[in-house]
Amino acid sequence: MAASKKKDTIKSEFHFQTHGKDLTVEDLIKSAKEDLAGRDDINLSELKSLEFYIKPEDSKVYFVANNDTLGSIDL
Protein backbone atom coordinates (compact mmCIF):
# COMPACT_ATOMS: atom_id res chain seq x y z
CA MET A 1 0.00 0.00 0.00
CA ALA A 2 1.47 3.34 -1.05
CA ALA A 3 1.72 6.08 1.52
CA SER A 4 -0.61 8.95 0.74
CA LYS A 5 0.89 12.39 0.51
CA LYS A 6 -0.76 14.98 2.66
CA LYS A 7 -0.90 18.36 0.99
CA ASP A 8 -0.19 21.22 3.35
CA THR A 9 -2.79 23.94 3.29
CA ILE A 10 -2.41 27.41 4.67
CA LYS A 11 -5.39 29.20 6.10
CA SER A 12 -5.27 32.87 5.28
CA GLU A 13 -7.42 35.92 5.89
CA PHE A 14 -7.32 39.37 4.36
CA HIS A 15 -8.08 42.43 6.47
CA PHE A 16 -7.99 45.95 5.09
CA GLN A 17 -8.00 48.62 7.76
CA THR A 18 -8.72 52.23 6.87
CA HIS A 19 -10.73 55.14 8.22
CA GLY A 20 -11.38 53.24 11.46
CA LYS A 21 -12.91 50.27 9.61
CA ASP A 22 -11.75 46.68 9.29
CA LEU A 23 -12.89 45.03 6.05
CA THR A 24 -12.53 41.40 5.01
CA VAL A 25 -12.95 39.76 1.62
CA GLU A 26 -16.31 38.47 2.82
CA ASP A 27 -17.39 42.06 3.61
CA LEU A 28 -16.40 43.19 0.11
CA ILE A 29 -18.21 40.30 -1.59
CA LYS A 30 -21.38 40.95 0.44
CA SER A 31 -21.32 44.68 -0.38
CA ALA A 32 -20.65 44.04 -4.07
CA LYS A 33 -23.55 41.57 -4.25
CA GLU A 34 -25.84 44.11 -2.54
CA ASP A 35 -24.81 46.72 -5.10
CA LEU A 36 -25.34 44.33 -8.01
CA ALA A 37 -28.71 43.04 -6.74
CA GLY A 38 -30.53 46.21 -7.70
CA ARG A 39 -29.09 46.45 -11.19
CA ASP A 40 -30.44 45.32 -14.55
CA ASP A 41 -27.07 44.69 -16.25
CA ILE A 42 -26.20 41.49 -14.31
CA ASN A 43 -28.07 38.61 -12.71
CA LEU A 44 -26.59 37.45 -9.39
CA SER A 45 -27.24 33.81 -10.32
CA GLU A 46 -24.77 34.33 -13.20
CA LEU A 47 -22.05 35.88 -11.02
CA LYS A 48 -18.82 33.93 -11.54
CA SER A 49 -16.02 36.33 -10.57
CA LEU A 50 -15.31 39.52 -8.65
CA GLU A 51 -12.12 41.58 -8.80
CA PHE A 52 -11.58 44.31 -6.21
CA TYR A 53 -9.46 47.47 -6.43
CA ILE A 54 -9.13 49.28 -3.11
CA LYS A 55 -8.52 53.03 -3.43
CA PRO A 56 -8.34 54.54 0.07
CA GLU A 57 -7.52 57.96 -1.38
CA ASP A 58 -10.96 57.89 -3.08
CA SER A 59 -12.64 56.25 -0.04
CA LYS A 60 -13.87 53.60 -2.51
CA VAL A 61 -13.50 49.97 -3.42
CA TYR A 62 -14.00 49.52 -7.15
CA PHE A 63 -14.97 46.11 -8.49
CA VAL A 64 -15.42 44.24 -11.74
CA ALA A 65 -17.98 41.45 -11.88
CA ASN A 66 -17.67 38.73 -14.52
CA ASN A 67 -14.90 40.70 -16.27
CA ASP A 68 -17.33 43.26 -17.69
CA THR A 69 -19.63 44.84 -15.08
CA LEU A 70 -18.21 47.74 -13.07
CA GLY A 71 -19.24 48.96 -9.64
CA SER A 72 -18.00 50.68 -6.52
CA ILE A 73 -18.46 50.52 -2.76
CA ASP A 74 -17.95 53.39 -0.35
CA LEU A 75 -15.38 52.76 2.37
In a domain, 58, yes or no: yes
Distance of CA 9 to the CA centre of its chain: 21
List the domain range (segments joined by +) for residue 44: 17-74
Is 50 domain-assigned?
yes
Whether residue 8 is contained in a domain is answered as no
The conformation of residue 41, written as its DSSP 8-state character, comes to S
Question: What does the pLDDT read at residue 8?
Answer: 83
Note whether residue 9 is domain-resident: no
- Main-chain phi, psi angles of 44, to 5 degrees: -60, -30
pLDDT digits 0-9 by tens, 18-47 = 888 899 999 999 999 999 998 888 889 999
When divided into structural domains, the chain yields a total of: 1
- pTM beyond 0.85, yes or no: no
Task: Inform me whether the pLDDT recorded for 75 exceeds 70.
Answer: yes
pLDDT score recorded for residue 38: 85
Specify if 44 maps to a domain: yes
Find how far residue 38's CA is from the centre of its chain. 18
Average pLDDT over residues 44-69: 94
